[in-house]
Amino acid sequence: MKRILIVTGQSGSGKSSALQVLEDLGYYCIDNLPLVLLPEIVEKLDKENNLEQLALGVDVRSTQADLQGFDHVFQLLQKQGEVDVIYLTTRDQELISRFSASRRPHPLSARFKSLNECIQAEKSLLLPIQLRATVHIDTSDKSVHDLKDILLSKLGQSDKLILILQSFGYKYGIPLDADFVFDVRHLPNPHWDLELRKFSGLDAPVKKFLEDSPQANDMYNDIYHFLNKWLPAFSEGHRHYITVSIGCTGGQHRSVYIVDRLKAALQSKWTIQVLHREMKHWS
């Protein structure tokens, strides 16, 4: 067995969609088998089919005892191949909206009175698996197509590290899947200039405004030198990806500018993917 993926996360965060994406990528997918049976079934499948890529869906429908014993199952699976745990998460309010829209009951609805109680209990039950996660994906603002792109990036389709640069707005929440978060809200804000407000950090007027700021240049240089120094070490440690998120208030000007500038400086050395999370909110 060359690669085993355990796909889990909060109900409504996109586990089924992730498994469908992985199936399209050539993974043999199995969903919602009892955790304690996984090592035996994986061994049997490997002997009979010589599978190179297997994805196992796990969720809170497993018994509490099984979930608490996940570490033992994980160690047994590691004897059969390279194991990664993909944990999907979503902001609580977004999960509530999704369940309300679909009118589907939460898997824990028979045990708890409110949907919020179900969500909080599920987080606690899945914690042993989350602590083993090697890939975290926040699906709060992502479509199935976005999820596919992120899985391709984070699973690493080559041995070269992929650097994911993401701009975001703190007013919309901090990304849950970032490895590093840099706050640039202290920089001069083009939003307060009525002539600049309509532009983004990709546009020349905003770039000029921030390039003229010593603070913006200092912040960029500090982030650049940090990444330039440490990305080789992450790559040598067999990391497939690093997600670096840069945040300002609205995710339109300062964070976008810093991300764009970092991309230009680092793209000759690294494979880079850029995500401007709040683009849909830009004026």
Q: Determine whether the annotation assigns residue 61 to a binding site.
A: yes
Order the strands of the 82-89 sheet from edge to edge: 28-31, 53-57, 3-9, 82-89, 135-138
245: annotated binding-site residue?
Answer: no
62 in a known ligand binding site: yes
Confirm whether residue 120 is marked as ligand binding.
Answer: no
According to DSSP, the residues that pair with 84 across neighbouring strands are 5
210 vs 205: CA distance, rounded Å: 9
- For the beta carbon of residue 61, count every other beta carbon within 10 angstroms: 13
CA distance 245 to 101: 30
Do the annotations mark residue 14 as ligand-binding?
yes
Which candidate, 135, 96, 128, 115, places its Cα nearest to that of 18?
A: 135
Q: Write the DSSP assignment of 45-81 as a string of letters.
A: HHHHH--SEEEEE--TTS-HHHHHTHHHHHHHHHTTS
259 is in an annotated binding site: no
Q: Please, what's the largest Cα pairwise distance for the chain?
A: 67
9 is in an annotated binding site: yes
Is 268 annotated among the ligand-binding residues? no
Q: Residue type for 65, please?
A: A
Residue 10 backbone phi and psi in degrees, to 5: -70, 145
- Whether 12 has a binding-site annotation, put simply, is yes
Look up residue 48 and give its two tokens. 């009979």
> Do 122 and 64 contact (CB within 8 A), yes or no?
no
Q: Is 59 annotated as a binding residue?
A: yes
Identify the three-state secondary structure at position 140.
Answer: coil
The response to whether 13 counts as a known ligand-binding position is yes
**DSSP three-state, residue 42:** helix
Backbone angles phi, psi at 103, to 5 degrees: 60, 20
Residue stretches of the annotated binding site: 9-16, 59-62
Binding-site residue set for GTP? 59-62
Q: Which residues are annotated as a binding site for ATP?
A: 9-16
